Structure 1
Amino acid sequence: MADQGQGDVVAPSREDPVAAALSGSVGGASGEHARGHRWWTPLRVVLAVTAVVFALGMLQKVPCYQDTWNNGETRYSKMCYSDMPYLYTGRGFVEKLWPYTDDAETNARFRVMEYPVGISYFAWGVSWVTHWVAGSPDIEDRPGTPLDQLRGEAQVQKEIRTYVAVSAVFLGIFTLIAAWFLVGVNPRRPWDALLFAAAPVLLFNALINWDLLAVTFVAGALWAWARDRPILTGVMIGLGTAAKLYPLFLLGGILVICIRRRQWMPMAWATFAAITAWLLANAPAYLTGPEAWKVFWSFNSDRGADLGSLWLALDRGGLELSNGFINNFSWAFFIAWCLGVLALGLIAPKTPRFTQLGFLIVAGFLLVNKVYSPQYVLWLLPLAVLAVPRWRDQIIWQAGELFYFASVWWYLGGHLRATDGGTPVYWAAIVLRMAVELYLVVIVVRDILRPEEDLVEREEPVPWRRTEPAEVGGKPAPGA
């Protein structure tokens, strides 16, 4: 592994036994007097690994790409499902329609986008690029063609494949930007971002939906806060919230830090910038189609227990809970969880790191959310790798996530159904996924309460193995 062993840069192969073992395939662990490669800097290595992993994620979708996601068996058995091809035709992008319109005829033909505006804008913009790449096909006759017939046309099938490919290219660019941000969060520990770049969950989940947009803005918020730029931090949080709701919760971490430091202006500026950025991002959608804009909020309030959630397991287990109860209990639990994070941050010996607080808050939200889609693991990824930069802990967590990833697709494909109609493997996968997430939560809480256990807080990295010269007969060995 091309670790830098000089200066203040921490080499993971010198402080982490798993990283040291893995480094054997690329030159071995960094020595005390090792110098970093002149060209292969940590940033370039991380970006290169990110590109390779993302490309492998694209290859993982090839079985579905080849049949344009038409084979319901393949998309689950090969675990190559993606929302993108279905939304291309199901939300009007096949006709280059703006997703926020109150036109009754359009809304009768296509479902309104149930996503926040950031993702809707992105999906709409990619559709225009798709039409251009596909040869600017004539779409004047499409509004009069039934959707089922339209989906089966050869030209539309080509566009669907192109749409996913174009989305992948742009999402790959966003992922590289996210990796760049993460490398720069802590100049002493640029290699921590390698845990993001090489993450198996990134490979398998990157192209299920467009969640990487919000992930990039979260990484940008971490980068901006590390540079004492609260306004830019707020802008990143606001834009991220326009793509997915969860980046908003990062303001809770900033609040804890500002209370500890008794500095109120950074919180005020970050909050103001976040609200302003969110309002500006939402303005085009609201002004052109206020009713369509409201769909995201009503959809999430009205939906019941869905895939991946503890609520779904309880419901299938015979415990019938109303949607209202789930809504109220989820928010009550999350508020209590946030108060617990606040108390933890105030009693900690040292001010917790932004990534630690952000991870705890987002993890609490996911644990009781009504839906926990496979790609939601990406929400935690940049926070988790910087909060807990231990390779062993990351492997444990992501192994549980990968087990769930396989289980959910095989469950949907009917491969895990027992003879009595139950699905014990899938319910076990939900529990295991939450258990490994709670494992990381416990690690973060321990590191906050005992800063000496936190790798990032250590002024000097502690080698994982003894480096003193071996002794022979009580004397230093020759040449040691």
Structure 2
Amino acid sequence: MTSTEVRVPLAARTIPYLPLGLIAALGASLAYVVRLPCRTGGWNDQVTTYTNFCYTDIYPLYFDRSLATQNPYFAHVPFDKQVEYPVVLGEVMQVVSWFARWLESDRGAQAVRFYDLTVIVLGISLVAGVLLMAALAGPTRRWDALWYAISPAVVLAAYINWDLVAGALSMGMLLAWARRRQVLAGVLLGLAIATKFYPLLFLGALFLLTWRTGRWRPFLVTAGSAAVAWLVVNVPFMIFAWEGWRRFYVFSAERGVDWGSVWLFFQHKGWGVLGEGDVSTLGMAALALMCLGIAVLTLAAPRRPRLAQICFLALAAFMMTNKVWSPQFVLWLVPFAVLARPNWKPLVLWQLAEVWYFTAIWLYLLSQPPLSRDDLGIGDDTYFTAVWGRVITIGIMMAFVVRDILRPDKDVVRQADIDDQTGGVFDDARDRFTLASIIK
């Protein structure tokens, strides 16, 4: 075989990656343009921030979480001023703040530089996540990654917080699992959990499919590697900066009902007794019930579900039952929604709902104290249409995924003669345990 004969098929396989990477870079650039009105001074005025829809956590946290002066976990500041993120994300923030302080002497200029440098990190994370998703989607569906690269909701939410870092790690974990590199998958999963906590749900998805297929060794290797990776990055902070380390976990447990959550709607309407303790209990119970349903579905379906389908259902269930549903959480769900069911109609409907929520939350905050600008903002009823719009459209997508699991012939991915492109050892695996086998 000549070298030319080798290069041609290789080029044919890699051609989509270059344009996808460039389009993802365009999406990252557009996300930067969206926030330019704030970058040039708008962050110092809430009205300007909200009317231009350019809010971000990045700029204010540079000051509010001691990043301008010291390591956020070792900072001698009140507990509520410490960084409320897991350690990988907190140290990403710290490293970027070092560069900002090195480049600028003025603290105001440092904060802007901190934002710019963070955007570079997040933009690279978006491009990496898109390319990893394209590799996961397989040769016949590489272009599905465009949804992650440049969809309106992604562009609008990209730089609100640091979620794109966890997104890249999660896509890397899935690709490593798909390529049957269980140790690497575990390491990336552990790092993802130490960045944002939601990737822990993917371990549950792997467990359910392992239970059905009996492929225990790969699962245990991945779970063990994830535990080791998580411990390696967390234990030093647990030992030397306990108060700073536990801030994330205390904050998550004690945080009240916040924007975007359906529980806020019920509290606002006064339907039932919904104190903070009641919501925490009901939220956990609702999530447990939905996860139980996902487990039954996984073990009872006529054909083993795809890994991306279970990850999507678990993540969507978490969002719908959580006390908080921030606008940037859409970044968690987009790649998994597309991998689970790359059908454009429900995806477009959901994207419209996300764009409406992104618009509504800032307009709603304008009408709330301390601003109370009713002339610029929207009222309660209008805002809650956006809250329920997300719930309903994601519920529709979940229903379609459940139907695809129960009727695999309707699954557009499997119609291409594919079993599970993200499944790794689950791909074409035989069932070793199902609920039907118990009944028989």
Q: What TM-score bracket applies, with the shorter chain setting the length?
A: 0.7 to 0.9
Q: Deviations over 1:23-81 (max 9, x none)?
A: xxxxxxxxxxxx99979811112111100011000000000001151011111111100
1:113 maps to amino acid: V
Whole-angstrom distance in 1 between the partners of 2:358 and 2:78: 34
1:424 to 368, 374, 381: 381
2:180 is the counterpart of 1:228: yes
Whole-angstrom distance in 2 between the partners of 1:108 and 1:443: 47
Equivalence for 1:48: 22
8 A contact 1:92–1:110 mirrored in 2: no
8 A contact 2:119–2:159 mirrored in 1: yes
Equivalence for 2:123: 172
2:12 is the counterpart of 1:60: no
8 A contact 1:90–1:110 mirrored in 2: no
2:246 is the counterpart of 1:272: no
After TM superposition, list the pairs within 5 Å mapping 1:301-450 onto structure 2: 301-319=253-271, 320-414=273-367, 422-450=379-407
Whole-angstrom distance in 2 between the partners of 1:196 and 1:431: 23
After TM superposition, list the pairs within 5 Å mapping 1:80-95 onto structure 2: 80-95=54-69
8 A contact 1:195–1:391 mirrored in 2: no
* Secondary structure, counterpart of 2:354 in structure 1: helix
Q: Runs of at least 4 residues of structure 1 off by over 6 A?
A: 35-40
Equivalence for 1:191: 143
CA 1:295–1:40 in 2, change beyond 3 Å: closer, same or farther?
A: closer
Please state which structure has a larger fraction of its residues in helix: 2
1:60 maps to amino acid: V
1:241 to 186, 189, 193: 193
2:111 to 160, 163, 170: 160
1:116 maps to amino acid: P
2:408 maps to amino acid: P
Equivalence for 2:416: 459
Q: Deviations over 1:245-300 (max 9, x none)?
A: 11001011111211221111122111111111111121232222101211111111
Equivalence for 2:71: 98
* Secondary structure, counterpart of 2:304 in structure 1: coil
Name the stretch that deviates more: 226-235 or 452-461: 452-461
CA 1:218–1:109 in 2, change beyond 3 Å: closer, same or farther?
A: closer
2:91 is the counterpart of 1:121: yes
8 A contact 1:305–1:323 mirrored in 2: yes
Whole-angstrom distance in 2 between the partners of 1:446 and 1:409: 36
Q: Deviations over 1:304-350 (max 9, x none)?
A: 11000011111111235121111111111111111111111112122
8 A contact 1:218–1:237 mirrored in 2: yes
After TM superposition, the score normalised by the length of structure 1 is 0.80
8 A contact 1:68–1:161 mirrored in 2: no
CA 1:167–1:402 in 2, change beyond 3 Å: closer, same or farther?
A: same
- In the alignment, structure 1 segments of 5+ residues that lack a partner are 1-34, 138-154, 462-480
Whole-angstrom distance in 2 between the partners of 1:274 and 1:407: 38
1:190 maps to amino acid: R
* Secondary structure, counterpart of 1:260 in structure 2: helix
Whole-angstrom distance in 2 between the partners of 1:459 and 1:392: 19
Equivalence for 2:158: 206
- In the alignment, structure 2 segments of 5+ residues that lack a partner are 1-8, 419-440
- Name which one, 1 or 2, has greater alpha-carbon Rg: 1
Q: Deviations over 1:88-111 (max 9, x none)?
A: 01111111x11112x6xx214981
8 A contact 2:42–2:49 mirrored in 1: no
Whole-angstrom distance in 2 between the partners of 1:249 and 1:365: 9
CA 1:109–1:278 in 2, change beyond 3 Å: closer, same or farther?
A: closer
Whole-angstrom distance in 2 between the partners of 1:184 and 1:222: 10
8 A contact 1:345–1:351 mirrored in 2: yes
- Give 1:228 deviation, angstroms: 1.7
% identical aligned pairs: 34
2:82 to 103, 112, 115: 112
1:441 maps to amino acid: M
CA RMSD of aligned residues (A): 2.2
8 A contact 1:53–1:203 mirrored in 2: yes
* Secondary structure, counterpart of 1:209 in structure 2: coil
- Give 1:393 deviation, angstroms: 2.0
8 A contact 1:234–1:271 mirrored in 2: yes
Q: Deviations over 1:176-214 (max 9, x none)?
A: 111121111133321221221122111000100001111
Name the stretch that deviates more: 229-238 or 266-275: 229-238
CA 1:204–1:36 in 2, change beyond 3 Å: closer, same or farther?
A: farther
Whole-angstrom distance in 2 between the partners of 1:36 and 1:263: 32
* Secondary structure, counterpart of 1:69 in structure 2: helix
Whole-angstrom distance in 2 between the partners of 1:391 and 1:340: 26
1:226 maps to amino acid: A
Name the stretch that deviates more: 252-261 or 82-91: 252-261
Equivalence for 2:434: none
Whole-angstrom distance in 2 between the partners of 1:323 and 1:371: 12
8 A contact 1:416–1:425 mirrored in 2: no
8 A contact 2:100–2:114 mirrored in 1: yes
8 A contact 1:304–1:370 mirrored in 2: yes
Whole-angstrom distance in 1 between the partners of 2:373 and 2:392: 21
Whole-angstrom distance in 2 between the partners of 1:121 and 1:382: 25
CA 1:38–1:159 in 2, change beyond 3 Å: closer, same or farther?
A: same
